[in-house]
Amino acid sequence: MNGSVQSRRLMLLVLLLGLGFAGLGYRLVDLQVLRHEELREKASDNTQRAFLRLPKRGDILDARGHLLATSQFGKTVCADPSLLGNRQAEVARALAPLLQMPAAELQQRLTPRVRQAAGGKSVTNRYVVLKRKVPAETWQQVQRTMAELDFGLDETKLSPSTRTFYRNLRRDAVFADRLDDQIRIYPNQSLAAHVLGYVGMGEQELNGSVVPAIRGMDGIEYSLDAKLRGVCGWRATETDSRRREVVPFRNQDVEPRDGWNVVLTIDSVIQHALETALAEAMRKHEPISVTGIAVRPRTGEILALAALPAFDPNRPGDASADARRNRVITDVLEPGSTFKIVAVSGALNDGLVRLTDVFDCESSGAFHYAGRILHDHKAYGPLTVEGIITKSSNIGAAKVGIKLGAERLYSYIRQFGFGERTGLPLPGEVPGYVPAVKNWYKVSLAQIPMGQGLAVTRLQMVMAMCAIANGGVLMRPMLVDRLEDKDGHLIARCAPQPVRAVVSPAAAADMVRALKTVTRPEGTAPKAALEHYCVAGKTGTAQKAGRGGYLPGRYFSSFVGFFPADRPELCISIVLDEPKNGYYGGDVAAPVFRQVAQVAANYLSIPPDRPEDVSVIARLPGAERLSTSAGLAAQTH
């Protein structure tokens, strides 16, 4: 009996063991064979990591290689609130000075937040961003501060679990995101801000994943974003339990291609001189805004472009949208008397007038035309065509325009580039407004030659003047000279681009002769005259248009001029919007031109062209070598 019971028990035990081994065998087959691929992928996910390798955004340089914008890598500092227990206040106080954030805000971010997950389970957040774009040296200070945190406890007397809590807090509670940030730096603050623009955070797709990326938001940063951005690389590798890379198991390592450097035509010295002069004009005349542009007429290279009020691209959010707007290309205005060069040069080109021809500019100072009365600044009476430019006679310009005719006048307006974008590589440029002849009023033929009844940008106006200075050839404005890689090797170079011949060289030379009289004592802009150079230019004092007519006492005041007049090296435009303490272009804009031109002439070593100065220099030892080298310097820089 006992043997039978023992036998059954033994059989039962063998059966149970057999079932156990069978179940274990099935489990092994399930794990090793049936679910092999699934589990291998899960294991790989736990150890395999793919890291993005961000390219460095390209630098922006001026024409002489001076740095205008650059980038450095930084960190996104994060925290795991679940590891802080009730020590948020102490950690916040320690990190606040380093991260330059209020301790109260940091403490709020470090406080755990509990949410209900699926199934009613409570989940505590384990990832919160404390601050982005933290410089590497600041992150190292954060690490040291966390490692040295002292909570006023004798931790040797604490339980093992409590000691582990504090060790994890110091080591893991505050960490850096694995993907580095880039910090865009503009070392000269607001210098050339409207040219450079600024950047912001955006996204880009890489291998099916969306990753954060710096994006250009305005200026060159925006228009050449694809060239500056570069191409991401990546690294596929294995990590240990603490997510540290196991270097021998790295299986893919693709280097990023850094963004290309953009070398501008802007010259920092002339840009600074222009901005300094504009700032003084802002203080003296308190206009709504003031703008300036300096261009090489022969090539269209822009050496300086500025608008005030301005902003600091390091902190674009601190400025208003109005200050960030590049008024040189986004705003339009009636040009006023500076536009007289269009009708007069067109009539000279068509052979309809000569500089010596005389027009009756009305001894009363008023001209009745098409049911309207056009007024002059003064009662001039008879004036030659040259005198019309010298005195800036509205009536004289109107009569030249009438002689030219509507169709030819409109043709020259378009030939000079008005009514179309110049193609400057900056966002926001507008074409201005030039009405078709069929939409003109009867009086338009007289008003448009004096700069009324159409709207232009400041850039269009200075490029039209450059066409006169350049023998009648309109150039496309240049802002980018070349692209280089990070080692300075040339990627692409931009060449000067003639747009079209607007007037003949002879007509342009006649126009220059007339424009030179403007800066003489009898002209409207003697305050633009330079000591050693002949200056050719034109003033403008345009009453602002509003709803229902022109606004009394509100003007755009301008001067556009170039020098040396007969072999121009530089054309400069200055425009003030509603200046106080004077409003005539010759009084408020011409002195600003003179201030900038004097600095530029010395800096570029432009040889004098006044006869008395040329004769003195010719007698100096080595004068021929000096003149030649100075001329070459002005042409190549």
Q: Strands (DSSP E) along 490-529, which ranges?
A: 490-493, 498-501
547 within 8 A of 343, measured Cβ to Cβ: no
432 within 8 A of 457, measured Cβ to Cβ: yes
Per-residue confidence (pLDDT) for residue 490, from 0 to 100:
95
CATH number for the region 50-113+122-264 comes to 3.90.1310.10
pLDDT bucket at 633, cuts 50 / 70 / 90: very low
Q: Do domains 50-113+122-264 and 268-604 have the same CATH topology?
A: no
Q: Sketch the domain layout of the chain as residue ranges.
A: 50-113+122-264, 268-604
The predicted model gives 294-322 an average pLDDT of 96
The predicted model gives 29-45 an average pLDDT of 64
Task: Cite the DSSP H helix spans in 319-449.
Answer: 321-324, 327-330, 340-349, 385-391, 394-404, 406-415, 444-447
Per-residue confidence (pLDDT) for residue 232, from 0 to 100:
77
The class (CATH top level) of 268-604 is alpha beta
For 595-604, the pLDDT digits (tens) are: 999 999 999 9
Query: Mean pLDDT across the chain, nearest whole number?
Result: 87
Per-residue confidence (pLDDT) for residue 231, from 0 to 100:
82
Between 123-137, 141-155, 248-262, 606-620, the lowest mean confidence (pLDDT) is in 606-620
pLDDT bucket at 627, cuts 50 / 70 / 90: very low
Q: What is the DSSP letter of 257?
A: B
Per-residue confidence (pLDDT) for residue 619, from 0 to 100:
47
Whether residue 632 has pLDDT greater than 50 = no
d(CA 75, CA 92): 18
Per-residue confidence (pLDDT) for residue 176, from 0 to 100:
85
For 345-380, the pLDDT digits (tens) are: 999 999 999 999 999 999 999 999 999 999 998 999
509 within 8 A of 572, measured Cβ to Cβ: no
Tokens of 226: 């694809």
* DSSP string computed for 63-74: TTS-EEEEEEEE
Per-residue confidence (pLDDT) for residue 614, from 0 to 100:
52
Whether residue 629 has pLDDT greater than 50 = no
Please name which of 344, 361, 444, 356 lies closest in space to residue 403, comparing C-alpha atoms.
344
Please name which of 475, 474, 546 lies closest in space to residue 508, comparing C-alpha atoms.
474
DSSP run (H or E) holding 601: helix 590-603
For 530-576, the pLDDT digits (tens) are: 999 999 999 999 999 888 788 888 999 999 999 999 999 999 999 99
